[in-house]
Amino acid sequence: MRRRRGVALVGLATAALLCLPTAVSAHPEGGDSDGTKDYGHFEGGPENDPTHSSHGNADLASPNMWHTANRMNPGKTNSDLAFWGEGGVRGPHQKLAAAGNYDGFRLFDIQNPDNPVLVSDVQCRGPQNDVSFYRAQNRLLLIQSIDRPQTSAECATSADTPVTTGVPACEPTPEFPAPECPPGARNLFTPGFEGLRIFDVTRPEAPVQIASVPTACGSHTHTTIRDQNDRRAIIYVSSYPTGANPTPANADFGGPRCTIPHARISIVEIPDSAPQNARVLKEQFLDGDTLPFLGSAGSGGTGAVGCHDITVYSADQKQTVAGQPAGTTRRVAGAACLEEGQIWDVTEPENPSTLGAHTHIRNPYITSGIPGSFKGLFHTASFTWDGEILLFTDEWGGGGAHGCDGPEDTRGNVWFYENVPPGTPNAPVYGRFIIPRAQPQQEACTMHNGNVIATEQGYFGVSSAYEGGTSVFDFTGVKDNPPIFLDAPAPGTPGDPSPAPPVVAREIAFFDQQGVDGRGRDDVWSSYWYNDRIYANGGLGRPHNPGGRGLDVYKLLTVGGRLVDADGNPTFGPGDDPNGPGVQAFSARRWPYSNPQTQDTNQKAAGQR
């Protein structure tokens, strides 16, 4: 069992907004008919006993992954993370982590990453409340995604709208003139505000809401891009009409409607000089050959077309780009669009090439292609820092199903693709990764949110796995594997691509909290590497796992500074003394900021000017 360094929660400044605790809902991509996630039952698993875990009563962890801090947040569904240390902050709290939850967000001072100080706890209902930072001149902004209709855009009066019954609105788009419209009435959310909220956190001890931007189908996640040429932020809003999210067809609602198939992203502009005037700049349609999302088993298909996450990679060298001002940075986006992945050119950020040169990526091991047989979805994208490899994560079962049954399990994997130029007909896959630790049947497990460590020692990824904890994996030799093209029939159907693509990465560190510290078991939403630590945010309030661990911090131990040796084995192993000679925390390139869906390789390393 790992030695821990417990740190008590510290006092915090009073937030500028009121507390509005309300019932928790979850991802709209699956779940009950009212659109909320049922965390009490899993495919292939028994009824859940809150006292039972076949893991036993000891934490599961590799010797080289060291737990340094925890900041609990019980009773909440804890979501995504963002990090900031590039100025624009007044007062002593210059290095910040934002941890979202369905009822608001928390800001931590991470000057000492092993002792995060809670600075503010803002109560503002609006699932999922995924977060990002942006500096608008001398003001630091925090941006939040809301994809569950709320009674008000204002924090003080915001609550989930009630559930009603109706027929989902279904309207053609330019690229989908004859959409698939699921028949019949079902439970739907009463329309209300959903989209983006924007806060001024220049004084992080007292955040102030300065704007709200309603968007069609709300904002499940968002991508924050700095447009230096026009001195503004461009925000890609990912959303889609599944579950109870569509607007009832007969609703008299003044805001943006959420209609099937949707088939677009919203692009929001935040001017540096006046961020309170943020607005929807345009709605960018997806190409007509984008696959509709099949949805949960037995649904026969949702008819929804949209994206779950979009990650933008900015090249580390400025180059001449045709039609753009000198010094323009070339950018590419990996878009996780539910039933498929896509690659876009976003060099001109307000004009992503969704209708121009773009690449479709399909994988029958993620989505079956058979209506009523939902497997998973293209959930998250990330890139290696040299731009060579594009990672897509499959969220098996929408995050509410049992998975992770060992290396042969193709459910809920991370998939490694060649990052081909947008417009290439297909991108080959090199293989996949799933945690090798088979999980108990009563636990939900799939790879979820993570990133790639910026180091020249090799390719190393970090990912959350819900109740499987946090994993660190080595995929350094991935390009040595033969490329495979997977645009083929689903497994088990004529012409299926058997055998499954190989596992091409190795888990080199992990931590799976079992609650021996009295703070609950792992149920990790996001795990990210940032400036020599791994930050994990979790606790989803499932009936069988109600604990709310909130924020956990880890470091990786090495001997001589190298994470693995020439054979790929961790340099710090079983029996090694953490205080022994040459033992030190793994260190990689340090960044002044990190948002979950933006990889800015052209930002200066922390400490540079």
Q: Is 155 helix (H, G, I), strand (E, B) or coil?
A: helix
Rounded to whole angstroms, how far apart are CA atoms 143 and 199? Answer: 6
- The pLDDT value recorded for residue 489 is 55
Predicted confidence (pLDDT) per residue in 44-103, tens digit: 222 332 333 345 557 899 999 999 999 999 999 999 999 999 999 999 999 999 999 999
Whether residue 549 contacts residue 539, with contact meaning beta carbons closer than 8 Å, is answered with yes
- % of the chain at pLDDT higher than 90: 75
Task: Give the model's pLDDT for residue 606.
Answer: 60
For the cut 70, the answer to whether the pLDDT of residue 194 exceeds it is yes
Query: What residue spans define the domains of the chain?
Result: 83-152+160-177+186-600
* Res. 322 pLDDT band, cuts 50 70 90: low
Q: Which band of pLDDT confidence, cut at 50, 70 and 90, is reported for residue 487?
A: low
The pLDDT of residue 546:
87
Task: Give me the pLDDT at residue 81, please.
Answer: 98
Q: If pLDDT is split at 50, 70 and 90, which confidence band does 209 have? A: very high
CB atoms within 10 A of CB 14: 9
The pLDDT-based confidence of 602 (bands split at 50, 70, 90) is confident
pLDDT of residue 231: 97
pLDDT at 491 over 70: no
Which of the two residues, 428 and 546, has the higher pLDDT score?
428
Inter-residue contact 435 to 507 (CB < 8 Å): yes
pLDDT of residue 380: 97
Q: Could you identify the residue written with the tokens 């400044």?
A: 13
Cβ proximity of 594 and 462 under 8 Å: no
Can you tell me the distance from the alpha carbon of 565 to that of 64, in angstroms, rounded to the nearest whole number?
Answer: 13
pLDDT of 39 reads 30
pLDDT at 609 over 50: no
Residue 493 CA: distances (Å) to CA of 361, 415, 431: 20, 22, 21
What average pLDDT does range 528-544 have in this prediction? Answer: 95
State which CATH number among 2.130.10.10, 2.60.120.1440, 2.60.40.1220, 2.60.40.1180 fits the domain covering 83-152+160-177+186-600: 2.130.10.10
**Phi, psi dihedral angles at 398 (to 5 degrees):** 70, 15
Question: Could you read off the pLDDT of 221-270 as tens digits, one per residue?
Answer: 999 999 988 999 999 999 999 989 999 999 988 899 999 999 999 999 99
Contact residues for 145 (Cβ-Cβ < 8 A; gap 6+): 128, 129, 130, 131, 196, 218, 219, 220, 221, 222, 237
Q: What is the mean pLDDT of residues 283-299?
A: 83
Write out the two tokens for 526. 């996001």
